[in-house]
Amino acid sequence: MRMLFLAARNLTRNLRRTVLTLVAIAFGLGMMMMMVTLQSGQYKVMLEQAISTQAGHVVVENVKYTEEAEPEYVVPGASGVVAAIGAAVPGAVVAPRIQMPGLISSPKNSVGVGMRGLDPEAEAAVTEMEDKIVRGEWLRKDDPQGVLLGVNLADRLGVDIGEKVVFMGQASGREVESRLLRVRGVFKSGSSELDSFMALSNLEPVQIVLGTPDAVHQITVHIEDPTRSEAVRDVVKGLIPQGTHALTWNEALPDLVAFIRLDRVSGDIMMLVLGAIVAMGVLNTILMSVLERTREFGVLLALGMRPRRIAGLVLLEGLVLGILGGGLGFLFGCALSWYLVVYGLDYTAFIGESMEMEGIVISALMKGAWDIPRSLQFVLMAVVFTVAASVYPAWHLFRLRPVEAMRQA
């Protein structure tokens, strides 16, 4: 306890320098926490979007479709599989999807599209596409002719609500099939590419064109608790036909998972660099404090105090400095993170309304997400770096000779 008191008193000898060092530690740590919060928010949005629009928490696919994504590789008997999964996994939303490249023609133009057939009720429950309708209305199950077009696609076709279009496609080894559809709505996803290429309809029109009645490409399962994904996958495995398999979201989205992992590592490297810069400032503070007390340390050595005890005092000073700076930095970081979580940062002036990353549409208003465990890791890192920065000044004391040290004024 006495050593702790001495360490605290020594830090107040040059209060201005100590305060500046604490501010540097707190500012650096606060910025680290802010970056972690913003990064976590970005990951959260990317995963939520990918899970809701692409893979679900669990997805059933034809084994070959996972490898090649060719239209002919389907999950047969889809309606029975959907019903079985719904009964076996209470509370889950089961969304069947079928996708096919083709051509949509209007009296004014013909445009290549990616047509997605879906269950309107299930899709509305797990995605935000219904909220992105800018004209018209969402699809209805009792309207097999209805189709939704991206806003740019509708402009290129020169059609509006209520007008007719023809969807044409060709499955492998089959003749070209077509289906007359009527535009029920126009959506704006936020991605100019998707808005120029994507069309949505009920399952039936795409199944007819593809020649695969009661078959889909994906059956996605969406649950409230993502941590149960593996358990749900194991249940689903016993309900699906031969030639298909069930995957959790991280198995179905390996590229996205790898991107997030790599981005997190690069972010950690930046944090370490910032931490090293702050540690250099701490090293300067502790070293100057030791050099200013060289004569004092010489007297203590002459009186019989062991060098390691004096060195321990210097290390304790670094520890106190690190704990105080870490505490202040954590509070400062929490304040910055709270602002990001509640209000976010608006990048509209730089990227427009949204941007696309790894196929995911991200809003220009980027909000953070709390990641307290990772933030506490950086607080601990700040304390460790501060103590580490005190090692060299402490080691310097072992080289002191009492007589020479006492000669210094």
Separation CA 389–CA 26 (nearest Å)? 16
**pLDDT exceeds cutoff 60 at 232:** yes
Query: DSSP H helical segments within 135-221, as ranges?
Result: 151-157, 192-197, 203-210
* pLDDT for 264: 85
- Asked if 232 and 86 count as a contact pair (C-beta separation under 8 A), the reply is no
Torsion sign (Cα): 34, 40, 43, 49: negative
pLDDT band at 291 (very low <50, low <70, confident <90, very high): low
Q: Residue 256's beta-bridge partner residues?
A: none
**pLDDT exceeds cutoff 80 at 348:** no
Radius of gyration of the chain, Cα coordinates, nearest whole angstrom: 31
Q: How many other C-beta atoms lie within 10 A of the C-beta of residue 105?
A: 16
- Asked if 322 and 386 count as a contact pair (C-beta separation under 8 A), the reply is yes
- Asked if 369 and 41 count as a contact pair (C-beta separation under 8 A), the reply is yes
**pLDDT exceeds cutoff 50 at 221:** yes
Torsion angle defined by CA atoms of residues 184, 156, 55 and 136, in that order, rounded to the nearest 10 degrees: -20
76: exposed, middle or buried (Cβ count in 10 Å: 0-12, 13-18, 19+): middle
- Mean pLDDT value across residues 374-391: 84
Specify the DSSP class assigned to residue 201: E
- Asked if 176 and 168 count as a contact pair (C-beta separation under 8 A), the reply is yes
Among the listed residues 196, 225, 193, the one whose alpha carbon sits nearest the alpha carbon of residue 360: 193
CA distances from 158 to 49, 75, 112, 186 (A): 30, 35, 14, 12
Separation CA 195–CA 21 (nearest Å)? 52
Q: Enumerate the domain spans of the chain.
A: 2-50+256-407, 58-222
- What's the pLDDT tens digit per position in 327-347? 999 999 999 999 988 887 776
As given in the structure block, the two tokens for residue 82 are: 């959907």
- Asked if 44 and 369 count as a contact pair (C-beta separation under 8 A), the reply is yes
Q: Residue 93's beta-bridge partner residues?
A: 222
Separation CA 307–CA 116 (nearest Å)? 75
Any idea which residue has 């099939």 for tokens?
A: 177
**pLDDT exceeds cutoff 70 at 406:** no
Separation CA 353–CA 30 (nearest Å)? 28
pLDDT band at 97 (very low <50, low <70, confident <90, very high): very high
- What's the pLDDT tens digit per position in 16-66? 877 888 888 888 888 888 988 988 888 888 888 888 888 889 999 999 988
Among the listed residues 183, 397, 157, 186, the one whose alpha carbon sits nearest the alpha carbon of residue 298: 397
Element (H, E) at 187: strand 177-187
**pLDDT exceeds cutoff 90 at 149:** yes
**Summary mean pLDDT of the chain:** 83
- Asked if 172 and 211 count as a contact pair (C-beta separation under 8 A), the reply is no
Among the listed residues 392, 399, 338, the one whose alpha carbon sits nearest the alpha carbon of residue 41: 338
